[in-house]
Structure 1
Amino acid sequence: MTNSNDIRTAFERQSIACDYLGSPFNARLCRLLGERLDQDTTFGRRILTWNGNPQSDALALRAAGAFHALKRQERASLAAAYPPNEVTEDALWQALAAAVEREDAFLTAFLDSAPQTNEVSRSNAILGGCLHIAARMKQPLDIHEIGASAGLNLNFDRYHYDLGGREWGSADAPVKITSAWEGETPPLDAPLAVASRQGSDLNPLDVSDEAARERLLSYIWPDQTARLQRIEAALAFAAQSGTAVEKADASEWVARHFDKPGEAGRTRVLFHTIVWQYLPAETQARIEAVMEAAARDASEAAPLAWLSMEADDKEADSAALRLRLWPSGEDVELARTDFHGRWTRWVGSATVRHGTASS
């Protein structure tokens, strides 16, 4: 059992992160829960006696999502305390406490699943990486995503982008993503063609199911209306296009798709965004072993790419967009990017290392 002080600290850290990422409302909510929640309810006891790591388990975001789900379902009279309304901290806490009293069982059960935000604006980084791969390889791409959730980022090449004033994609695309951009842009004229797209997740969300869509939307922060609208549009498009995600363990799925040489004339791409930190160490190790073996089998005719957008130790406020490419063995940090895709600082091929898949 985790010490309750560590749990309260995790809520405070999440509050700071929400503030930085543009959600003052969620920052207040996380801070209030961390400061005032007690063990008088099942919900409070479940949180304050959490059996796990509150930080890596995203406990504060599970709790915030639970309240947002109630609000979206028009339960527990939370709407008056939520954006666009503005209330004092005491008034917000009173609304939250009343909701716990009325909906204790619902809120407690909601904590069972980890958040799945499926942040579609991260696609700006995925696009940049895949344009870079396409420019180098000049082949169609076979896309594979782990931690794909509802599969929204699998459709990255079907969206319209404004990358600091430079545009890519059809003007009438169903989803429009605008990101601030620093440095050079990726090769926007590269011959990008996605030959196939597949994804996996431990708990994939069925975009055709209203309850699944609502659960995903509950994790989007309530005062970020543009973000909510963008993800709603991406969900509608995914349902229309038939995008599906397979339920599978990430390492088992990667092994199944990468344990033999790829098809000549195609570049296989494994990608993931803000997923690695949630995978158990043994799952990470197995994926690395599979990719090392696949790297040895890669050839000029059937290249292999591993594109990841993940947190690292370099900068706390951004993720690294890293590309590993074989058979050349290149290991490139293409960009730093905001966790929610609000901005990207493109580096291109400035940082290159050579080594194995896990180096």
Structure 2
Amino acid sequence: MTTRLGAAFTEQAQSCAALGSPFMEQLCTVLAERLSPDNPIGHRLFDWPGDLGPGAESVPLRLCGALHALCLMGRGGLDRVYPPHKVDDDTLWAGIAHALDSETEFIDRFIDTPPQTNEVRRSAALIAAGHIVQDRFGLPLRLSELGASAGLNLHWDRFALRIHDTVLGPADSPIILSPDWAGPLPPKARPDVIERRGVDLNPLDPLRDGLRLRAYLWPDQPDRLRWTEAAIAMSDHVVDRADGVDWLETRLPHQAGTCHMIYSTVAWQYFPAAARARGTALIETASRSATDRSPLAWFTMENDGTSPGAVMTLRLWPGDVTLDLGRIDFHGRWVRFNG
């Protein structure tokens, strides 16, 4: 009989497979099939209140994150069964069962907090949008990121984007993103960012919370870990702890001679409906006083319920122009760009 928890792990396994992680697919499948209330931490997981699936409390990712954190710290013996090793299901489960038994207290604390990451490859969308905004208005940019987490994607202008034989951004950047790109190139105008700031209800400190950021990256995708570590190393930004819409209201007054670029990547969709409505109204009110010397741009990369990936939308003022920029993989592996 399938349990709520087993179904959640199975759903997560399917998502991980679609996002190119065979190990996470195997791990979640093994947990779906073999985890029981009798395992250490089992009762808490099986009795979890509310919706524990990937679209809600994300209990499967919490446990997987805790296990990966242990592996990264060299604890629990998981380094013997995690990538780069490839093991069968019985061997993997034996390793997991040992970690559940020997590291119960750590796992119990770790899963108190929901998953929170920065997917650096999403900056491919931000680089493309930023080049369009710079090309259109030709002014320095003020950045405001909603749901910024640790704020690693506040540095998108310091990353490079390689599209075939073209590189946008600093060619000597330690982060060079190379998604599978279809469609035209963005404009080549180099964004001039003069201020970057973000907001989150529970912002992570890139240094203090570095283990948590790394733990939610998938063990068989080392490039994601490498890019995240490089982004952590260049962090010099501020992410405010606040309600996103209240914070946005304080950021909306125009500053002459600058373009204000507001954006989110798979975050706006998690704001309550009332907050999204209020935030939209605030932006649209501010847009009515936007001028060529104080323009406003609003970019979103969000799930619209249509597969595959997320939709990229850019609104520009003055003029209230809405651009459908196409779609991007949730982890930034590919981009289908409309230009």
TM-score of Structure 1 vs Structure 2, range by shorter chain: over 0.9
Q: 2:230 aligns with which of 230, 233, 236?
A: 233
Match of 2:47 in 1: 49
- 1:86-113 deviations in Å (ceiling 9; x for gaps): 1111111121112111222211221122
Q: Distance in 1 between matches of 2:115 and 2:140?
A: 33
CA contact (8 A) 1:159 1:169 kept: yes
Q: Does 1:252 align with 2:269?
A: no
Q: Is the 8 A contact 1:321 1:334 kept in 2?
A: yes
Match of 2:25 in 1: 27
Corresponding residue number in structure 2 for 1:182: 182
CA distance in 2, matches of 1:51, 1:277: 23
Give the SS at the match of 2:194.
strand
Note if contact 2:309-2:330 (Cα within 8 Å) is conserved in structure 1: yes
> What amino acid maps onto 2:311 in structure 1?
A
CA RMSD of aligned residues (A): 1.8
What amino acid is aligned across from residue 82 of structure 2 in structure 1?
Y
Structure-2 residue corresponding to 1:154:
154
Q: Which residue of 2 aligns with 1:307?
A: 299
- Give distance in 2, aligned partners of 1:273 and 1:16: 22
Report % sequence identity: 41
Tell me the residue number matched to 2:288: 296
Summarize the Cα distance change of 1:325–1:147 in structure 2 as closer, same or farther, 3 Å threshold: same
2:321 is the alignment partner of 1:330: yes
Shift of 1:41: 4.4
Structure 1 spans left out of the alignment, 5+ residues: 349-359
Maintained 8 Å contact 1:271/1:306: yes
Match of 1:356 in 2: none
Alignment of 1:105-116 (within 5 A): 105-116=105-116
Aligned-partner SS, 1:39: coil
CA shift for structure 1 position 33: 1.6
| Counterparts of 2:293 and 2:249, CA distance in 1 | 21
Partner of residue 351, structure 1? none
Partner of 2:120: 120
SS at match of 2:36: coil
Q: Secondary structure at the match of 2:173?
A: coil
**Does structure 1 residue 262 correspond to structure 2 residue 260?**
no
Q: Decide whether aligned partners of structure 1 residues 324 and 7 sit closer, same or farther in structure 2, where only a CA change above 3 A counts.
A: farther
Whole-angstrom CA distance in 1 between matches of 2:214 and 2:232: 10
Give the AA of the match of 2:302: E
**Separation in 2 of the partners of 1:19 and 1:92?**
17
Q: What residue is the counterpart of 2:310 in the other structure?
A: 319
Change in Cα spacing, 1:298 to 1:177, as seen in structure 2 (3 Å) is same
- Which SS does the other structure have where 1:25 is aligned? helix
Q: Is 2:213 the partner of 1:216?
A: yes
| Alpha carbons 1:142, 1:197 under 8 Å: kept | yes
Asked if structure 2 preserves the Cα contact closer than 8 Å seen for 1:61 and 1:219, the reply is yes
Q: Tell me the distance in 2 between the aligned counterparts of 1:101 and 1:300.
A: 62
**Equivalent residue for 1:355?**
none
Q: Alignment partner of 1:320: what SS?
A: strand
Asked if residue 285 in structure 1 is aligned to residue 277 in structure 2, the reply is yes
Q: Which runs of 4+ in 1 moved over 3 A?
A: 4-7
Q: Is the 8 A contact 2:312 2:326 kept in 1?
A: yes
Which position in structure 1 is the counterpart of 2:332?
341
Counterparts of 1:166 and 1:60, CA distance in 2: 39
| Deviating more after overlay: 54-63 vs 93-102 | 54-63
Aligned to 1:200, the other structure's residue is in SS state strand
Q: Distance in 2 between matches of 1:39 and 1:102?
A: 17
Shift of 1:119: 0.9
Comparing 43-52 and 80-89, the one that deviates more:
43-52
Distance 1:44 1:292, change over 3 A: farther
Partner of 2:143: 143
- Tell me the distance in 1 between the aligned counterparts of 2:272 and 2:338: 30
When normalised by structure 1's length, the TM-score is 0.89
Output the amino acid matched with 1:134: Q
Distance 1:139 1:160 in 2: 20
Deviates more, 1:65-74 or 1:111-120: 111-120
1:8 aligns with 2:2: no
Q: Work out the CA distance in 2 between the residues paired with 1:282 and 1:104.
A: 39
User: What is the CA deviation profile of residues 272-331 of structure 1, one whole-angstrom value per residue up to 9, with x for unaligned ones?
Assistant: 11112332333323322322322233233322111011111222x311111112221222
Determine if contact 1:319/1:336 at 8 Å carries over to the other structure.
Answer: yes
Number of aligned positions between the proteins: 337
Q: Render the CA deviation track for 1:140-182: whole Å, top value 9, x for unaligned.
A: 1111001212211111111222123311122222222211210
**Helix, strand or coil: the match of 2:185?**
coil
User: Under a length normalisation based on structure 2, what TM-score does the superposition of the two structures give?
Assistant: 0.94
Task: Tell me if structure 2 keeps the 8 A contact 1:120–1:153.
Answer: yes
Partner secondary structure for residue 41 of structure 2: helix
Query: SS in structure 1 opposite 2:247?
Result: helix
CA distance in 1 between partners of 2:103 and 2:325 (Å): 46
Q: 2:266 aligns with which of 268, 274, 283?
A: 274
Provide the rounded CA distance (Å) in 1 between the counterparts of 2:289 and 2:39: 56
* Distance in structure 2 (CA, Å) of the matches to 1:324 and 1:161: 22
1:35 is displaced (CA, Å) by 2.3
- Alpha-carbon distance between aligned partners in 1 of 2:286 and 2:42, rounded to the nearest angstrom: 47
**CA-CA distance at 1:232 after TM superposition:** 0.9
